[in-house]
Amino acid sequence: MAEKSIRFGVLGCAEIARKVSRAIILSPNSTLYAVGSRSIDKASRFASANGFPPSVKIYGSYEAVLDDPDVDAVYVPLPTSLHVRWAILAAEKKKHVLLEKPVALNVAQFDLIVEACESNGVQFMDGTMWMHHPRTAKMREFLSDKQRFGQLKSMHTCFTFGADPDFLKNDIRVKPDLDALGALGDAGWYCIRSILWAADYELPKTVTALREPVLNEVGVILSCGSSLHWEDGKVATFQCSFLSNLTMDITAIGTKGALHLHDFVIPFQEKEASFSAASESGFTELVTGWVPIPSEHTVMTDLPQEVLMVREFASLVRSIKENGSKPEQKWPILSRKTQLVLDAVKASIDRGFEAVEVQY
């Protein structure tokens, strides 16, 4: 096993931090070094409840984690409204930044984060875990195959889950001062990223939000959708919601084939994930079935996708530390494109569902 060389500090005790802290521990090239919260009691309870090794340092402030000279990188699962402050400060303290999504409240804030990371030579990556699953690479091979899939024509994606009454009243994702983007930021981020992924990260020309989004009493989005349009005629739609049954679907349709999956954000199982691929589909002679029937593909992995994310991030950090490499620019570019589209959807909602141009 490789040396656990990259030492992570975790800023905050959000629910998602439980999962990513576990991933840091399981990753072969990282170690969970410190956790900080606004009180040392909360940080201690968090560490104890999640069975952290006794070697993990416990801090009663975020600043203390950033001031620890032995912390190489930080994972930041704080509310979106706090990202710009703490991600910038982390970069200024020369800590590499693994930041939860959505990365910011708007692209202007995100640009400040990227500027801080670039000027301090630290790696940035957002926490979109499914990007690192080997299934994603396999699906990319199919979408890139001109003989089997052809040219992308349309993309439809959905991420919804049924939040309980406590969530809808108290969770940070429904609070305008903490996560003002609500379901659009939390679930819509994944939908937008998947659409861009299928389109090989070509930005749409225009975005038009679907009418009748559901807002709570303080104006935070609980459910919404949007259509996206490209100059070459490609179209996409997505729906995201805190108010519907758990659904994580992707349908990508090309001129010669189609891709389907039903668990793109979090696979049904940690160590395997499947997708369906169809090529040159048609009906039987009596129109009683399909020929050929879509094929099912299962991709195995020894490590969960969040561990693979941490491993990739830690590998980039290690290369910077030990080899003097430049930070990988792919990840902030993908984050920025996702944020640009998200901003456009929000602008379309705010402007009465008019079409909004997306400009890089």
Catalytic residue ranges? 101
d(CA 99, CA 111): 14
Contacts of 116 (CB under 8 A, 6+ apart): 87, 88, 91, 92
DSSP 8-state secondary structure symbol assigned to residue 263 = B
Best CA proximity match to 57, nearest among 87, 28, 37: 37
CB neighbourhood size of 13 (10 A): 22
Which helix (H) or strand (E) segment is 137 a member of?
A: helix 134-143
Helix (H, G, I), strand (E, B) or coil at 86: helix
**Per residue in 115-130, is it b (16+ CB within 10 Å) or e — as a string?**
ebbeebebbbbbbbbb
